[in-house]
Amino acid sequence: MKRNIIGRFAISALLIAAPLSTAFAADIAVPLPEPVAAFNWTGWYVGGNFGFGYGTNTGNGYSSFVDPGAPTGLGGVAAFFAAGGNVLPGVNPQGVIGGGQIGYDWQVSPLWVLGIVADVQASGMKASGYGTASIGAFTSITESNSAQVDWFGTVRGKVGFAASNLLVYGTGGLAYGGVKANTTFNDPSSGGGPSVFAGSSSLTNTGWAAGGGVEYALSRNWTIGTEYLYVDLGTISTTDTIVSGPKPWANTFTSTSKFSDNIVRVFIDYKFGP
């Protein structure tokens, strides 16, 4: 009899506890997190950048000269150059750069991003050098060369591969910038006294730029990245004429400088929109 009562009591307790335990489990269940939406690169952005530029060889010898000969010219310049007297050095402008950029990106698919960007940079890229030669009647000739990039900018297209908030891209387009070159031909042995020939050129040149970069979104509105660009600003010519010494000399010395630079920089952008 006792066993019968105990059995019935146990069955009743289980029937009551089952729904209660189910309700309790539902109350304490931890909800699963909602999937995080992939980063969307579409939108306008502005930002700043800072980096370093290293230029390729500019100058490296006079490309031509004019020597009318005595009595109005130094005479013998062709022989002097042929014997190794053309010692105008090539130089490699380099230095810190910094500026700002503005652009727009379109996320055309989950994996691909197209864009356009424009930037303007202040530049501390510059270099100078000199060479000396003594050949025949020409003794202790000094030839100096300096070159610099004062500023430059680009307008470029972008094609990128996106992995949510990481973007790897290639870029290319128009480049423009202010470039300068200064050269001298100093002849302390010329007849009638030392003679100095000097020339200077300063131009705004156009060219092209190409490179690539990696960008990472820290949040919906802030991104950081690093970028490499090869910037070609073309060539300029500089002609030295007499500036000091006997004035009869009608000689001129002309050099050609090529400005092409390797740019490495880091940047931060603010992206507008949600």
Mean pLDDT by 10 residues, the chain (274 residues): 42 41 45 60 98 90 93 89 95 97 97 98 97 91 96 98 97 98 92 88 97 97 98 97 89 95 98 85
**pLDDT at residue number 23:** 44
Nearest to 160 by CA among 39, 38, 41, 36: 41
**pLDDT at residue number 37:** 60
**pLDDT at residue number 31:** 52
Helices (H) then strands (E): counts for the chain: 2, 11
**79, 91, 98, 234 from 153: Cα distances, Å:** 43, 22, 11, 14
Which residue has 């979104």 as its token pair?
217
**pLDDT at residue number 247:** 81
Cβ contact 152:178 at 8 Å: yes
DSSP-based three-state secondary structure for 93? coil
* Both structure tokens of 199: 């020339």
Q: How many CA atoms lie within 13 A of 56 on its CB side?
A: 12
Domains, the chain, with CATH or none? 40-271 (2.40.160.20)
**pLDDT at residue number 248:** 83
